[in-house]
Amino acid sequence: MPMGHTATQQAGTGGLTATEHRLANGLRVVLSEDHQTPVAAVCLWYDVGSRHEVKGRTGLAHLFEHLMFQGSAQVKGNGHFELVQGAGGSLNGTTSFERTNYFETMPAHQVELALWLEADRMGSLLTALDEESMENQRDVVKNERRQRYDNVPYGTAFEKLTAMAYPDGHPYHHTPIGSMADLDAASLEDARAFFRTYYAPGNAVLSVVGDIDPERTLAWIEKYFGSIPAHDGKQPPRDGALPDVIGE
């Protein structure tokens, strides 16, 4: 397999080991086996969050997280949820200032399914991304904002705090949920450009832990992720430096 390097670390307690690998397309892979229970977890971590958003497009990273569950080349519509849950697993995704991650917890014998699904999204989401999905998930995210922030007591407290603590234009001035105005302004082309820029093998870390055979798991990862082309269009994140005095 065309791997870059492999390193092994021994944990301080518990006797667990983690091996790190890198595919030829830049994808970092971390594997750790633990056979105490017949369960395995897959987590795909992309190095993109709200701090990478540009002015006027706040909330785009979180909106795109939702779009990742709207189908891909081989899995249509809600199929990602249906396949994982039908196999006895669970799944979700989260977006923060610094990163976006997607994860599945599966019966150990179904971990290959989770890897195939994540690879299909990384490699082919653009073929399924359309206006219908964009409008549908825009409404979902706007309703999430209403329910979790705008219409609950103190729901916008953290949002107001970050706006006061960090000056306008700072990457932490806004929170991942974004503003209603920016969510309304986001276009399908914005989403496509976001995917092309940040959802690349070299901008991701894939971790698989639990009741796994590392050699077989690595072979599956190479099989499904290895053919995804490398590309590097990512811009450096905005400057996070702060002035000596803030809040004036």
- pLDDT tens across 134-155, in order? 999 999 999 999 999 999 999 9
pLDDT of the residue at 1: 40
Among this protein's residues, is 248 annotated catalytic?
no
Confidence bin at 247 (pLDDT 50/70/90): low
Helix, strand, coil: what percent of the chain each, to 5? 40, 20, 40
Domain ranges of the chain: 3-225
Evaluate the CA torsion angle 43, 46, 47, 51 in order and state its sign.
Answer: negative
Does position 94 have pLDDT exceeding 80, yes or no?
yes
CATH code given to domain 3-225: 3.30.830.10
Q: Are 178 and 47 in contact (CB under 8 A)?
A: no
Kindly state the helix (H) or strand (E) to which residue 198 belongs, with its residue range. Answer: helix 188-198
Predicted TM-score (pTM) of this structure: 0.91
- What does the block give as tokens for 206? 């894939």
Q: Which of 45, 7, 3, 48 is nearest to 205 (CA)?
A: 45
Amino acid, single-letter form, for residue 222: E
Could you count the other beta carbons within 10 Å of the beta carbon of residue 152? 10
User: What are the Cα distances from residue 19, in Å, to 40, 166, 198, 209?
Assistant: 16, 38, 25, 10
Share of the chain above pLDDT 70, in %: 92
The structure tokens 């785009």 sit at 60
Stretch 118-139: mean pLDDT: 96
Is pLDDT at 14 greater than 70 in this prediction?
no
Beta bridge partners of 8: 19
Q: What is the pLDDT of residues 194-221, one digit of tens each?
A: 999 999 999 999 999 999 999 999 999 9
- Of residues 20, 33, 65, 135, which has the active-site annotation? 65
CA atoms within 13 A on the CB side of 228: 27
